[in-house]
């Protein structure tokens, strides 16, 4: 059992039953010309977390523990993209449109690939998810149950959209969840801060948060 110093109180877990879940570290969100930029966001601020997420990835690989990568991704025929999602707002490019990194948020396109520094290995789970949450229409819960996973450590983007949605879905399914504070980022710093605060409030109503150095030191001690 390892003990991570976290908010609102220490997070206890066994590495063999604790998966690292890296949400949507794909070019669509962190590079110019993708989905994030099409919504009017400055995507460069998300790139700063890549080394921290990589440190967690390396730690999990060294521990031989389970790693899950997700991508927000739609089938090329967009049959899994509700019109309500595609037609919302006034983006410069809509889901499925051709942009500088290929078709926006479409599986297999250059923009849909996870950034090189965090590229999944063959032994790791990669989930293509049509929604913001990692559990909706993916089979992730069944995959985790089959591997006796009870605890999830989250990283990735964006904090208040796909990360928070996935963490809430996981919490409702009975997982003990921790979000690594400096391994997640938002286009809106105030939304990130609010998300971290609301997760740990009320005695950990959604779960725990901790800085990466506490996760690393707990695993390595
Ligand atoms: N727009 C935004 O902040 N996020 C998303 O649309 N998806 C994810 O968070 N991955």
Average predicted confidence (pLDDT) for the chain = 98
What does the DSSP 8-state code read for residue 67? Answer: E
- Atom from ligand 1 closest to the CA of residue 162: 9
Question: Does the pTM of the predicted model rise above 0.95?
Answer: yes
Instruction: Note the pLDDT of residue 55.
Output: 98
Q: Is the pLDDT of residue 209 over 90?
A: yes
Instruction: Note the pLDDT of residue 191.
Output: 98
Q: What are phi and psi of 144, to 5 degrees?
A: -70, -40
Q: What are phi and psi of 129, to 5 degrees?
A: -120, 130
- Please name the residue whose Cα sits nearest to atom 10 of ligand 1: 162
pLDDT in tens, 50-71: 999 999 999 999 999 999 999 9
Under 8 Å between Cβ of 28 and 36: yes
CA 168 to chain centre: 12
Instruction: Note the pLDDT of residue 183.
Output: 99
CA 150 to chain centre: 17
User: 221 falls in which pLDDT band (50, 70, 90)?
Assistant: confident
Mean pLDDT, range 161-165, rounded to an integer = 98
Instruction: Note the pLDDT of residue 92.
Output: 95
Instruction: Note the pLDDT of residue 192.
Output: 98
54 vs 61: CA distance, rounded Å:
10
Ligand 1 pocket, CB under 6 A: 24, 29, 36, 39, 72, 132, 157-158, 161-162, 187
Report which secondary-structure segment, H or E, holds 220: helix 212-220
Measure CA of the first residue to CA of the last residue in the chain; give whole Å.
Answer: 11
Q: Is the pLDDT of residue 5 over 90?
A: yes
Measured in angstroms, how far is the CA atom of residue 191 from the centroid of ligand 1? 12
């Amino acid at each position: 059992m390892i003990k991570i110093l976290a908010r609102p109180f220490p997070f206890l877990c066994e590495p063999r039953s604790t998966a690292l879940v890296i949400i949507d570290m794909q070019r669509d969100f962190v590079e110019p010309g993708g989905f994030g930029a099409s919504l009017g966001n400055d995507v460069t601020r998300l790139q700063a977390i890549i080394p921290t997420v990589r440190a967690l990835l390396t730690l999990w690989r060294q521990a031989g523990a389970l790693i899950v990568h997700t991508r927000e991704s739609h089938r090329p025929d967009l049959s899994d993209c509700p019109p309500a999602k595609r037609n919302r707002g006034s983006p410069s490019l809509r889901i499925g449109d051709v942009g500088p990194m290929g078709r926006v948020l479409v599986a297999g396109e250059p923009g849909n690939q996870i950034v090189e520094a965090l590229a999944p290995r063959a032994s790791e789970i990669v989930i293509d998810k049509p929604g913001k949450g990692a559990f909706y229409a993916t089979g992730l819960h069944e995959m985790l149950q089959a591997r006796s996973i009870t605890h999830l450590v989250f990283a990735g983007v964006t904090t208040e959209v796909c990360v928070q949605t996935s963490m809430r879905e996981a919490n409702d399914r009975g997982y003990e969840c921790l979000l690594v504070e400096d391994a997640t980022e938002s286009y809106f710093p105030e939304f990130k801060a609010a998300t971290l605060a609301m997760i740990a409030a009320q005695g950990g109503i959604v779960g725990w948060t901790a800085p990466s150095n506490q996760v690393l030191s707990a695993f390595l001690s």
